[in-house]
Structure 1
Amino acid sequence: MGFSAWGYAAQNNYEFDDATQRQQFNQLTTTLRCPMCQNQNIADSDAMIAKDMRRKVYQLTREGQSQAQIIDYMKARYGDFVYYEPPITVATIWLWVLPVVFAIGGLLMVLKRGKPAPPEDMAEQLKEAERLLKQDKE
């Protein structure tokens, strides 16, 4: 994932004890989604909530919390939406299963339908059609 100039500049304002903390901060801010901006990470967003989230990530990183702990904190506070890799739960599994079920169901319906049955007596149907046409002309 790339950094925008704005997001990168905002991240450079933070001071870290070592390169590992900076790397963790950079990684977290690109993998956490801004709740206000929909599909923009908090590194690239200039929304107030993204700035608050960056500050909290910085604070937790400086406190020595692991990446998993910080992600868990953010998910507990903002919901699973803030993490680009949501967990597989009963609620989220349906997002993957339902399209497959509908596709298989549609395919089965098309296959069961088969060919239309041929008309029993084509000559009689043609005579009926001619009779209806003559009635319309009268």
Structure 2
Amino acid sequence: MKRMVVLAAGVLGLAGTAQAVPGGKLMVLIKGGWTCEVPGDATIMPVARPELGFETIPDSSYVAPDGSRGTYLRLADKVTFTSGVFAGRRFQMDGEEILRELAPDDKQLNLRCVHAGPVSLPTSG
């Protein structure tokens, strides 16, 4: 009986211990619409790519422009679409409201996706 109590206490202690996740902290994206575009510069306007935009919804999921659903995984500042029509797309976070798409070799592609909801600006108090 005493041995079972010690074993149960040990198992409960392990369950409460958080382990580091390889690749970074498990997180989610801000919910809402994300518009994607090829950025411009001082002389060239950005080019919208609505077919690559998406809406993030609860449970690390997204809705594509065609209405289909998929899932994503965010580890720290890296995002990977894991299922659905965008499966395999990878991004580097640039703050909380900008994603920059990555090539298979981790170089940034010329596409960014921006959270289309209200922007939170700090106010002086």
Structure number with bigger Rg: 1
Q: Give the TM-score of the pair, scaled to structure 2.
A: 0.23
Q: Give the TM-score of the pair, scaled to structure 1.
A: 0.22
Higher relative contact order (CA closer than 8 Å, sequence separation 6+): 2
Higher share of residues assigned strand: 2
Higher share of residues assigned helix: 1
